[in-house]
Amino acid sequence: MKTRICFLYLIIYIGIILFSTSCENEIPYTPAHSEPQLIMNALLDAGETENYVYLNLSGIHGLSHVEEATVNLYVNGQLIEKAEELPPLKPIGSLDMVYDPNAPLNNLPEIAKRKKFRITTVLAPGDDIRLEATAENGKYHTTADVTVPYPVNPIHVDTCLASLREYNGWGTYRQYKVTLQDRPGEKNYYRLDIRNDITTYGQYDNYKDTIVYSRETEVINREDVILTDGNPSSSEDDEDDFFGTYIENKYNVFTDGRFSGTTCTLKVYTKLYNYDNSGLYNITRRSRSIIVRLLSISEAEFRYLKALNTLESGNYEEALMEPIIIPSNVKGGLGFVGISSETRMTMQLPDEIIDNENLPPYTQ
């Protein structure tokens, strides 16, 4: 026993010596791309009259913004548009900042200082698209090439109110059953997007009549076999069983692997959004519309959004899971450019009229 203990101490001692030696001779880490690179990001929608392209510079210690840049759009090999540069975002933290166009750019995070460009050319299915960005008087030059996918046939949407289990009981939600026909003879990639657009009419500060527009896009997809990749759950409480491995499909992307060439029906939910978070007083009316969009996307965009699902998940553990590589299709720099073709259905809900005649001011 005494011999074993001495041998164990000898192993520990040798390990300490080797560890100390390796620390003293540590080789400095030098990334392959220590120089900043131009980052170009854009998720374009075919058929839209406005699309946006964002530019940043990469760096070892974080992002930095671009001082001067241009973005050109080529369609089928022809220069079609020089994108319009938009002014930087204003800080958002109070209604004063939202409504005052002259609010100072203080405490603005670096990501909000990124260059933003607007494209107004309407893109069509089958178009070959190239985005070309040049920055800092030609020091940086990037390009990205994508082809506009073809949309699916019109979708069918059924809705109703349904009860869902919550952490503290049961709640009422809006259920959607979205039926689509897969495009035959090819491998297809899709994304489901549901927008609850809310317009609130009321008053702000000194009884100024004000209209506030808001958009909610959260989708609850835990019961759907396709959107959960064969792992449906009847309650959010069940996600605790998958801690460290369960990754929520936040971007609602999926393939036709389970219904190739046929139809499928997705079952999802959204909140009712009956509460008010507009910050207005004396609200008189609220208007709501629901837009259900089924987007056809490329395989590259599918993989890009899948990677973002993982990175943005609270269950992603770097120590337990494989490292995530964000796909990039930008040549000469970093970033991702994707484009989708949509099929949509719009539902306009009845306006909610609020009678404030018998209420004192600032009670809504």
Could you tell me which of 332, 218, 206 has the C-alpha nearest to residue 272?
Answer: 218
pLDDT digits (tens, 9 = 90+) for 187-238: 999 999 999 999 999 988 767 889 999 999 999 999 999 999 998 987 655 5
Q: What is the pLDDT of residues 88-126, one digit of tens each?
A: 765 544 444 444 444 444 455 555 678 999 999 999 999
- Cα–Cα nearest to 124, from 158, 56, 76: 76
Q: What is the largest CA-CA distance in the chain?
A: 93
Structural domain spans, the chain: 38-147, 156-325+342-353
Residues of the chain with pLDDT under 50: 1-31, 92-106, 239, 241-244, 358-360, 362-364
Nearest C-alpha neighbor of 134 from the set 117, 151, 119 = 117
- Provide the whole-model pTM: 0.80
Q: Which two tokens stand for residue 24?
A: 């003293």
CATH topology of domain 38-147: Immunoglobulin-like (2.60.40)
Say if CB 131 and CB 75 are below 8 A apart: no
* Res 273: pLDDT: 93
pLDDT of res. 317: 58
| DSSP strand pairing (281-297 vs 38-45) | unpaired
Tokens of 39: 């980052």
- Looking at residue 236, its pLDDT comes to 52
Which pLDDT value is given to residue 32? 53
How many angstroms separate the Cα of 170 from the Cα of each of 160, 173, 220, 290? 16, 10, 14, 23
CB 280 within 8 A of CB 202: yes
pLDDT for res 167: 78
DSSP-derived secondary structure for 20-48: HHHHHTPPPP--TT-S--EEEEEEEETT-
